[in-house]
Amino acid sequence: MDNRSNTLEGWAPEVRSVLRIVAGLLFLQHGSAKLLHVPDQAMFAHLPLLSLLGIQGVIELVGGGLLAIGLFSRPIAFILSGDMAVAFFIEHFPRGWVPILNGGDLAVLFCFTFLYLWVAGPGSWSVDALLHQRKAEGAQA
């Protein structure tokens, strides 16, 4: 049992990367729907860029893209976590405090996923890890 646990723990950096990539792409999709209308969502058809939802779309599109590739992962994850906390309290909390009843469960899940990635880091499959590796190799030369 212990060997299996160690084997699974050995995959943690790669699985963390998969979590970061999937969360980033899902978040990017929300921004893409708001700003680029892909996928097309009727509620975002006439969304002004300089509105709260328009700014949210920029944060989702840019932040989700950067998180998906793993560039500036920790600061981006921190910003996105706070963004989702604010979104929950502005949009969902006024309808009640229970996320499944107020429609805010996705915002809460994103918030804590991003908070985890801020603390744990992007994983081994990221631009950040590649840059860190190159910097370490340059320091040794």
Q: What is the pLDDT of residues 36-76, one digit of tens each?
A: 999 999 989 888 989 999 999 999 999 999 999 999 999 99
pLDDT number for residue 1? 45
| Contact (Cβ atoms closer than 8 angstroms) between residue 83 and residue 53 | no
**40: exposed, middle or buried (Cβ count in 10 Å: 0-12, 13-18, 19+):** exposed
Confidence of residue 5 (pLDDT cuts 50, 70, 90): low
**15: exposed, middle or buried (Cβ count in 10 Å: 0-12, 13-18, 19+):** middle
pTM: 0.90
